[in-house]
């Protein structure tokens, strides 16, 4: 039960960080371009890789912290970071074809599904 509480707290902090940064970006740069999402996704990729690297290579953070930070905080902050990190790991492992397939496949399918969801919403 304690793990769920810590995970939930990390998720709340990720959600509030995402909201706060998105609002700040809208005030700083306006809303004519989705700068908030851009900033959140890019910073999330950096933070995800940094936390993973500190846990794996340097062992500066323990497995519990990594779990709460990556699953709780980053999961609520942005799942884009997980997506990009997984592709980056495939590249790092020399699995370039799989990385390209993952990148192209998810982006293409996600875009088609967004259009399908919008079309369905208009039809209902």
Q: How far apart are CA 15 and CA 53, in angstroms?
A: 23
Stretch 21-35: mean pLDDT: 92
Tell me, what's the pLDDT at 12? 97
Cα 3 versus chain centre, distance:
21
CA distance 73 to 57: 21
Cβ proximity of 87 and 104 under 8 Å: no
Q: Given pLDDT bands bounded at 50, 70 and 90, which one contains residue 108? A: very high
Summarised one tens digit per residue, pLDDT across range 29-83 is 998 888 988 899 899 889 888 888 888 777 777 888 888 999 999 889 988 888 9
- pLDDT, position 105: 92
pLDDT, the chain, mean: 90
What confidence category does residue 24 fall into, taking pLDDT thresholds of 50, 70 and 90? Answer: very high
Q: What are phi and psi of 76, to 5 degrees?
A: -85, -30
pTM of the model: 0.76
Domain boundaries, the chain: 2-93, 96-124
């Amino acid at each position: 039960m304690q793990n769920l509480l810590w995970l939930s707290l990390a998720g709340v902090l990720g959600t509030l960080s995402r909201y706060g940064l998105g609002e700040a970006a809208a005030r700083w740069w306006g809303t004519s371009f989705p700068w908030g999402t851009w900033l959140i996704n890019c910073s999330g990729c950096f933070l995800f890789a940094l936390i993973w690297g500190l846990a794996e290579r340097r062992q500066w953070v323990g497995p519990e912290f990594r779990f709460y930070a990556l699953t709780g905080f980053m999961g609520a902050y942005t799942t884009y970071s997980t997506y990009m990190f997984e592709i980056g790991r495939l590249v790092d492992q020399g699995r370039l074809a799989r990385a390209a397939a993952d990148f192209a496949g998810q982006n293409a399918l996600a875009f088609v599904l967004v259009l399908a969801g919008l079309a369905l919403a208009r039809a209902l």
